[in-house]
Amino acid sequence: MSARIKNMNASKSSRNPIALTASEKIGYEEKKAEAIKAKSLFLSNRKVKIKTRMLLIA
C-alpha cells in the first residue's frame, strides 16, 4: 500500500513541479493517518468476527 502512495506522489510531483505547500502536506499526512486508522479498525473488526465465528462453530 505504501508503495502505491509513493507512486501516486511521484506522478503528482512530475506533473506539478512546484512542491506541495505546507498546508497541503499537512492535509496529505492527515488523510494518510486516517486511512491507516480505518484500515487497522477494519482488520481488528474482522479478527473479532472470525473469533466469534470460531466460537459459534466450536
Mean pLDDT over each residue of the chain, to the nearest integer: 72
Q: Name the residue ranges covered by the structural domains of the chain.
A: 31-58
**Residues 4-39: tens digit of each pLDDT:** 555 555 555 455 546 667 777 778 888 888 888 888
Predicted local distance difference test score (pLDDT) of residue 28: 82
Predicted local distance difference test score (pLDDT) of residue 52: 80
**Model-level pTM?**
0.40
- Give mean pLDDT, residues 44-56: 81
- DSSP string spanning 3-52? HHHHHHHHHHHHH--SPPPHHHHHHHHHHHHHHHHHHHHHHHHHHHHHHH
